[in-house]
Chains A and B, each alone.
Chain A
Amino acid sequence: MSNFLDRNVKWLFPLPAILFILVMMVFPILYTVWNSMTPWSISAGRPPTFFGLENYQKLPDDSRFVASIGRTFYFTILAVSLEVILGVAIALLLNREFRFKRIINSIMLLPMMATPVAIAMVWLLMYVPTTGIINFVLRAFGLPEGLWVYNAQSVIPALALVDVWEWTPMIILICLAGLTALPHDPFEAAVVDGASTWQTIRYITLPMLMPTISVATLLRLIDAIKTFDIIYTMTQGGPGFTSETINIYAFVQSFQYFNFGYASSVLVVFFAVVLSVSLLVTYSRRSLEI
């Protein structure tokens, strides 16, 4: 008995965690994969049967699906790159002692705490071209007005703006933590060597902060690519289908068209996309550090 325990203790300890992961994570994913190989649709009037990869063969011909992939990346890259640039810049600004620092820090956190659906509703109202406050302010300053989410061309940037507003604070937070953890010696050496502020930032702060920035980027990237709440609340994928990301499209296929099998295949592809993006970023980060 004790022999058995001695030999297998390394399996026994993580057993509960493994069971949990199997039931709560592996099973749903495998079940989705199985679903994606059936024509399951409650509007078809017949029970689902296994039919292999037929759903996947339809995907490349589905113009809405193909367009949604590009749109997902457009939204993600736009939002995350703005967030990283703004986030790092603001973190550098805040990384010193001044009055009201604590108050400003807490205010910065508020967008992150709020409910995305509530945020989206408020932004939707602010974006209304005729009566919304954003155009009202622009008009007051004599600036050109925008149609924001009410127009096919501007809808994705307008949505990305909401995402930037909500999630830049997270980058700031992570970068501030990274900045406080940096050693002081290189900065002192830079001062002795007569480096300007810009040179210090460019050649010392940013390179040393790089690992932190890339972690923050990775976290935001994975999150942004999966964005659902803001987009669904504000546009439901419209006008037309011009803000329909993969996530929204899968949702529409399953809960508005009731094609659960096909929606599963969309989701499996989406899962692969998210997975490969995170692997890619992790890999590039590793190579960056070496």
Chain B
Amino acid sequence: MKIRLMLALLLVLAIVVACAPAPTATPVPPTAAPKPTDAPKPTDAPKPTAAPAATSAPAATTVPPTAAPAATKAPEPTAAPAQPYKGANLRILVANHPWYDYLKTILPDFQKATGINVTLENYAENDLVQKLTTEFTAGGSTVDAFMQRPLQEGKLFAQNGWYVDLNTFIKDAKKTPDTYNFADFQKAAIGTETVKDMLTGIPIVTEQEVLYYRKDLYQAAGLQAPKTLDELEAAAAKLTDKSKQQFGFIARGQGNPAVTQFSSYLYSYGGDWFDQNTKKATLNTPEAIAAFTLFGKLHKNYAPPGTTNMSWPQAVAVFAQGSVASYTDANSIFANLLDPTKSTVAEKTGVVVFPAGPKGSVPYSVTSWGLSIAASSKNKDAAWEFVKWATSKEIVLKEQGVGANPGARASVWADPVGKSKFPADWVAAQVASANGRGYDRPLVVQVGAARDIIGTIITAAINGEDVTAAANKANADFQKLLDSEPK
């Protein structure tokens, strides 16, 4: 009896010992491990696919980083040692975006030149934000640099102290040589990345809203590309034949995603989200209501049914399938519309600057993505090497000239190579909108909540409900949100 009991106790102890480390280790991400298993999140579905580039790093990377500078026997050089950060490991989180698609193909050049190992983890945009937020909130993150949307997360991340102020690198001549030419970046783009004098990131992708239209359909109906929103509405009406499944117009209609693409309508009508000085919401001004009404009317009368559940992938699919005549959205998604392998109407699609409203054509012109360094990074200098390389003129020219990613360097837009991948009418529209408004959503900390509030007006307008009532209610909600914002 006693022997059995002792055996049983031993068994229990063995199980306890075996079980104990597992539960205690899981809730908190280990700080030392190179890849922390993040706090468990149910929606963390897409697994990071580390770029294969890391494996092709030079064999010399086993040398400890401290030994590296000594290897170059430069006689007290004026130039810094060639590979001061050799052997450093960088973990960089990026979004699934053409910018990343191209960058990963040229990443080995960087690793060869600097001896720095880079691991790129890519996520869908919303998953990227969740990943960053959980890692930074939980602490002990090993992220060194990351892609960010300055207009969406800029203020929020800055407020939580998650960015390194890149001005400290830019102004340090030792870390940033003159050849980097920071002044070459478009002023508006740098402005978007700046939060209270802090440079949160270096702009890598810019975009403006444009009008895509079917040249053949417009021509057959004897119409020119619309120059004003009134002309757009008239053309949409003329080109809509619901019995033939032919529609005059499409745009994102799903509340939250539609907000950014509605912004140009709002600005062109003379409206804005709120008054920057008084912090008063202006969603129910006559200008704003007129813009919401027109946007709703275009959807309700001339767009395919069901746009209230459509973001750009759905809208692009419908347009590419050939049943829609005009489409307003960001110019950065042009590859989906003008590439014959992706669209049945690629050859027949033209691009023009956003049509003018009562206050002229005021499209947004923004930096949609930037590259930032994490405040918690232990390799900030090495991370800056990477950011500096990825945003250098040489790489931006490659990204833009080969990868067709619209960058933010003025000199690259002046270079014929920089324009070669873009259709002529696309470039003309881009140049004409470059001076547009520097934000496509309200500049607040709680952007997600603000977009949902504004989205309710868009949904109401599309459904043909009372726009003024919806705008009044949303304006009150938005004011509440503005009042709750930290000063």
Contacts and interface: CB of A to CB of B under 8 A. Distances in A.
Contacts of A235: 309
Interface string A20-45: 10011001000000000000001111
Contacts of A46: 486
A60 B396 CA distance: 52
Interface string B20-53: 1001100100000000000000110100000000
A167 interface: no
Interface string B293-326: 0000000000011111110001001100101000
B463 A23 contact: no
Contacts of B2: 2
Contacts of B24: 23
Contacts of A27: 27
Contacts of A117: 45
B309 A45 contact: no
B159 interface: yes
A151 B23 contact: no
A19 interface: yes
Given A130-B245, A257-B449, A147 B305 contact: yes
Contacts of A9: 5, 8
A20 B254 CA distance: 44
Contacts, number: 125
B407 interface: no
Nearest to B11: A13
Contacts of A2: 2, 5-6
Contacts of A152: 308, 463
Interface residues of B, number: 52
B486 A129 contact: no
A238 interface: yes
Contact of A239 (B129, B245, B254): B254
Given A131-B321, A238-B309, A240-B255, A5 B9 contact: yes
Interface string B442-468: 000110110010011001100100000
A151 B306 contact: yes
Nearest to B308: A239
A237 B6 CA distance: 57
Nearest to A135: B305
B173 interface: no
Nearest to B3: A2
A45 B137 contact: no
A16 B15 contact: yes
B308 A150 contact: yes
A248 B449 CA distance: 14
A225 to B, nearest CB: 16
A256 B309 contact: no
A12 interface: yes
Interface in B307-347: 307-310, 314, 317-318, 321, 323
A44 B155 CA distance: 11
A6 B19 contact: no
Contacts of A256: 126, 448-449, 452
Query: Which residue, B12, B307, B456, B486, has most C-beta atoms of chain A within 10 A?
Result: B12
B25 to A, nearest CB: 11
A190 interface: no
A258 interface: yes
A238 B314 CA distance: 14
Contacts of A94: none
B304 A12 contact: no
A32 B254 CA distance: 32
B463 to A, nearest CB: 7
Interface residues of A, number: 44
Given A43-B445, A240-B308, A6 B133 contact: no
A77 interface: no
Nearest to B12: A12
Given A16-B12, A151-B308, A251-B43, A24 B255 contact: no
A43 B310 CA distance: 28
B456 A129 contact: no
Given A16-B16, A147-B306, A228-B42, A240 B8 contact: no
Query: Which residue, B9, B27, B314, has most C-beta atoms of chain A within 10 A?
Result: B9
Contacts of A240: 255, 308, 455-456, 459-460
B318 A130 contact: yes
A86 B318 CA distance: 35
Contact of B159 (A45, A147, A155, A236): A45
A74 to B, nearest CB: 18
Nearest to A14: B12
Contacts of A258: 133, 156, 446, 448
B477 to A, nearest CB: 10
Contacts of B133: 42, 255, 258
A131 B448 CA distance: 31
Interface in A225-273: 228, 232, 235-236, 238-241, 251-252, 255-258
A162 to B, nearest CB: 14
Interface in A162-220: none
Contacts of B19: 16, 19-20
B228 interface: no
B301 to A, nearest CB: 15
A15 interface: yes
Query: Which residue, A43, A45, A252, has most C-beta atoms of chain B within 10 A?
Result: A43
B61 interface: no
B306 A128 contact: yes
A149 interface: yes
Interface in B155-184: 156, 159-160
Contacts of A150: 305-310
A232 B2 CA distance: 58
16 contacts: A5-B5, A13-B8, A15-B12, A19-B23, A42-B160, A43-B445, A45-B159, A45-B160, A129-B304, A130-B323, A131-B318, A147-B305, A152-B308, A232-B43, A236-B256, A239-B459
Interface of B: 2, 5-6, 8-9, 12, 15-16, 19-20, 23-24, 27, 42-43, 45, 126, 129-130, 133, 137, 156, 159-160, 245, 247, 254-256, 304-310, 314, 317-318, 321, 323, 445-446, 448-449, 452, 455-456, 459-460, 463, 486
Given A44-B486, A147-B306, 19 more contacts: A6-B5, A12-B9, A13-B12, A15-B12, A16-B12, A19-B20, A23-B23, A43-B445, A129-B304, A130-B245, A130-B304, A130-B306, A151-B308, A152-B308, A152-B463, A236-B256, A239-B255, A251-B43, A257-B448
